[in-house]
Structure 1
Amino acid sequence: MKNTISSSDYRKLKLLNYLFNNEDNILKKDLAQKLSLSLVTLNTYVDEINEELSDFIRITRRDGRYFLDRRQDVNFDSLTAYMITHSFSYEIILATLRDEKKDVKNWLESMPISQSAFYRKLQEFDNLLARSNLILERNPVSIVGNELNIRFFYSHVLVKAYPESGWVINDIDYRILERFIKHMERELGIYFSPSALKDYAVSLAVLLTRIKQGHFVQFDEYQAKYWEDAARYYDIKNFDFSLIQDVIGVPIPENELHILFIAQFLVPFSYYDKQKVLDRLSHKKEVLYVKPFRVLAEKIVDEIFKDKQYDIEMLKIYLINYFVRFVFVSKTTHLLDIDYFSRKITPVTYEKKEIERHVSQLIRESGLTMLRDNKGIIVQYIFDLFNVYMMDKHQKKQLRIKVVAKNGSVWEEYLKDVIQKQFPPGLITFANELDSKEHLPRYDLIISDYPIDNYYGCPLLAWHFPPTKKELEELSQFLDEMQRK
């Protein structure tokens, strides 16, 4: 976030982040010391925050302590988005993305700041671009460098700003991109959460804007090989792009269509088909460029979880997909995901230093430069992923049951009630979906009052309606066996 917003706004975000993540109200002097601020500066920042962000939050002072109140629909990402969209850098980013071709003189005429202040801010923005291996031209003001890096940079900033800015690429219809992404979900057996879908749409809009302006990606020999391999693996030539072929009014080259497709890896998504997970981990037909990512993901997960008997395939998939986004980075690129802001994940099963030690060594051995240059954010992602994954492992094992009744939900609720009365609270929980289109099945057992085909990857009990005493006893035995595992 440094250089993306002003230094004072960055310090305000650090202040807000600390108040968001601190469970207890904090003494003023302790907060000032924590943030390396004087008491006078701290008071000034609090007053400015309360004025600038009055629609979102309010910091109050009582008995020498600070209290943070916020709207229920506001979190730290909301405030980050606000700071970005009201920054000098964001104005430059939007103008250059829209190809406005404004020189320094035009900018000075439209901005209420002195020439020296403008050049200072311009230099700060240039420093940010340099961390992404990009250059800021002055006349006209524009961003130049590797085309993939430019697209990645624009996408990354606009995604971060979206909660506040909304849809800003007005000459591209969001609804068309949404339909295309939904089509992709159905074809690939994947699911984007509502926020991830918007992020993917923003990235697609950036890519399409650059194509419309005549900025095309030039592949070197190595890049061309792995893009061709990805096209073969996903059979992209036969994928239906008709929804977006005409969205920008100019023909889209085939290799650019491939990039629009692969851009799905810029955002997180979930699989809801177990076979898709197994295919992704298969060595038989994998994409050539994915192999080193897969090998690295397997080594990291196997090293950290070597003494744990857990289903870790999904962890490997999450890592592979996360690593693939770095294909969009030719060299080191500064990402905004980490931003030195703290996150409280509890309980912490794996300490960050332990993960960093393993990951650093394995990335170094892999020879993957784009991962090595972004090691900090990768370590943070893995730290969050592994500890979130372990949260439910600390809970007492519950049997997750999906009840299926031929006659519908009323009959299902009756069967659930019968089961609940047979067992102590907390041992059994019920799944609502049998065939989800958002995630993999989340149940250990299916109970149906009518024979059904079982392709769900877990045991199935065919019961009578109402269930017999023997059937309930068999369920009790199943639960006992699961608790012993």
Structure 2
Amino acid sequence: MDKEFKLASQLLTLLDTEQRWFTLAEIEKNLGLSDKTIRKMVEEINKQLPSTMTIEVSRGKGIFLQRDGRSRTVSEVISSMFRETIFYRLMNLLFTNVGRFSVEELAGAMFMSTSSLKKLIVQLNNNDLKPYKLRITYSTPMVKGDELNIRYFYWKLYGDAYEFTGWPFTKINFDFINQLITNIENEKKIVYFINSKRRLSFLVAIVLERVTKGKSVKITEGGYPWEKGAFHLPVKALAKVLEESFSIELLKSEIYFMQSLFSLSQYHYYEGSEMTPMKEVELHKDKEEYQMGNRLLTLLAKVYPNIDVKERFTLEIYEFFDKLLIDNAIPEWMTISKSNLTTYVQKECQQIYQEVQTCMQKWHTAYPSVLYNDFHLTKLTLLVRSSLRYKSKKAFLVIGEEFSIRHYIANLIKKEIGDQLIINTSIMKGLTDEMVQQHHIDFVISNFPVALKTVPVVIISTIPSKRDLDNIRKELLL
């Protein structure tokens, strides 16, 4: 992918995280660029930004992203910039003109020399396409590889390029495809998340484009009970409409392919659908994910006694395993599925991530043939993290600093932990077990050693670190 675009998107994303001036030193550290390169890049980016958005550079202050909070988002701008990259334009041409261009004709369509195009193809084959196990051929440039990987790659490409607005498929009517998906929503009494529904529209269009060009996927029928799946009949009905409208034949594998992504996409039952979490749980009984989910729930309960195991959490665990089984039925999904939150979760929820990983390792001994990866651990960590029930407790804060700093730290901890924690910062004549019990203190937070026997003591840095905050949260779980 274009190096300039990658750096520009990274810079815009960084500047959009906070409404403040970023020093050049901060930018250099995050992007690994020199002062001169950053200034030059800002000049080029400003030429592509809408009138309501600009990057200001000031000597002594640094760089500031000025934008109207009611105008286009930075993500929209990045999508628009992505559509202008050489990478996107080339891959789009190869998708819409399969086998129609010689390398010379393609170079002309890209306004490049043949030698430059060949160098670009080598670069893409060695980098951007490698994770998808794809490559571009040379004499008659085409994208080669497993058909599932090709479709997944283009699904992501068009999803990134037209994340919010626009429609890249000139021969296929968006409203028609969107209505077919709405029909499934109405039948199942569900609502797909807005971005999920949009991406499903892209999926159906990609299937149509590839099938009309004679390309088909291969999915093993016995890998998952497809015909018992919740979306099998609705997707089969959608496929029939497509066959009649476009004079094509959609084999079982094509239906399974679409069914997998209709199942994996995010949705919920809308209000008034008469579907309760308890009824949803019933839908999973007598299915493989039911036993799998119950085993993990038992393991999680031992680690997190206060986890909320009501119907909603239980249901999400069953759905997690249903989707995991679909991923296992299509091995290509396992090799390319990843989450942009994995790095964040591994860092910010390190303890829970590791504990969940240990639970899944124990779970795996009962189901050794079912594979999972960091993508699945990330989803499971967030699910567990959001379902932990903290007890309301009272803590006494002991900080060997002046009054203002003590209150600053108390507010900082409260902001990070929430209303479950009441912090006492009053001055006591002596921190003894008797005094702690008299004030009904559940535990003590201190930045120096405290000799107490009746309540736990959490030792923190003068300014609490993320690990310190996690240790405080842990006390609320006990």
The verdict on a shared fold, with TM-score over 0.5 as the criterion, is yes
Q: 1:280, CA displacement in angstroms?
A: 5.3
Please say if 1:143 is aligned against 2:143: yes
Give the drift of 1:283.
Answer: 5.2
For the pair 1:251 / 2:249, whether they are aligned, the reply is: yes
Corresponding letter in the other structure for 1:264: F
Superposed CA deviations along residues 342-377 of structure 1, whole A, max 9, x for unmatched, are 79xxxx9x94322432454455636567632xx2x4
1:61-72 equivalent positions in 2, closer than 5 A: 61-62=57-58, 63-71=60-68, 72=70
| C-alpha distance in 2 between matches for 1:74 and 1:304 | 44
Conserved 8 A contact 1:172-1:248? no
- % identical aligned pairs: 15
Indicate the residue corresponding to 1:10 in structure 2.
6
- Is the CA contact 2:103–2:114 (under 8 Å) kept in the aligned structure 1? no
Instruction: Return 5+ residue gaps in structure 2 as ranges.
Output: 393-478
Task: Tell me what 1:330 maps to.
Answer: 332
TM-score by length of 1: 0.66
Cross-structure match for 2:36: 40
Deviation at 1:106, TM superposition (A): 1.6
Q: How far apart are 1:53 and its partner, in Å?
A: 2.2
What is the rounded CA distance, in whole Å, between the counterparts of 1:28 and 1:226 in structure 2?
53
- Which position in structure 1 is the counterpart of 2:123? 124
1:194, 1:308 → 2: CA distance? 30
**Kept after mapping to 1: 8 A contact 2:190/2:267:** yes
Taking a change above 3 Å as real, the CA distance of residues 232 and 30 of structure 1, as seen in their structure-2 partners, is closer
Q: Is the 8 A contact 1:58 1:70 kept in 2?
A: yes
The residue that corresponds to 2:226 in the other structure is 230
Indicate conservation of the 8 Å contact 2:54/2:65, yes or no. yes
Quick check: 1:135–1:145 contact (8 Å CA) kept in 2? yes
CA distance 1:265–1:278, change in 2 (3 Å): same
Taking the aligned partners of 2:20 and 2:57, their CA distance within structure 1 comes to: 13
Question: How well do the aligned residues superpose, as a CA RMSD in angstroms?
Answer: 3.8
CA contact (8 A) 1:356 1:379 kept: yes
2:21 corresponds to 1:20: no
Q: With the length of structure 2 as denominator, give the TM-score of the two structures.
A: 0.67
Measured in 2, the distance between the counterparts of 1:370 and 1:141 equals 35
CA distance in structure 2 between the aligned counterparts of 1:177 and 1:46, rounded to whole angstroms: 40
Pick closer, same or farther for the CA change 1:254–1:82 going to 2, 3 Å.
same
C-alpha distance 363-308 of structure 1, shift in aligned 2 (>3 A) = closer
User: Hey, what does 2:460 align to over in structure 1?
Assistant: none
Structure 2 counterpart of 1:308: 307
Q: Which has the higher contact order (CA 8 A, sep 6+)?
A: 1
2:427 aligned partner: none
Q: 1:338 corresponds to which letter in structure 2?
A: N
Q: Contact conserved, 1:200 with 1:266, CA < 8 A, in 2?
A: no
Give me the whole-angstrom Cα distance separating, in 2, the residues matched to 1:247 and 1:303.
55
The 1:27–1:82 alpha-carbon spacing in structure 2 relative to 1, beyond 3 Å, is: same
Amino acid at match of 2:147: E
SS of equivalent to 2:144? strand
- Match of 1:316, as an amino acid? I
Equivalent runs, 1:367-446 vs 2, <5 Å:
367=368, 371-372=372-373, 375=374, 377-382=375-380
> What is the rounded CA distance, in whole Å, between the counterparts of 1:235 and 1:266 in structure 2?
10
Give the AA of the match of 1:257: I
For the residue of structure 2 that corresponds to 1:138, the secondary structure is coil
Superimposed CA distance per residue, residues 229-259 of structure 1 (whole angstroms, 9 cap, x where no aligned partner): 2213438358533433323221322442333
Q: Which amino acid aligns with 2:306?
A: D
Shift of residue 75 of structure 1? 2.8
Equivalent residue of 1:67, what SS? strand
Deviation (angstroms), 1:193: 2.6
- Going from structure 1 to structure 2, the CA distance change for 1:135 and 1:359 (only over 3 Å counts) comes to farther
Determine the C-alpha separation between the residues in 1 that align with 2:95 and 2:6.
Answer: 24
Distance 1:75 1:269 in 2: 24
SS at match of 1:58: strand
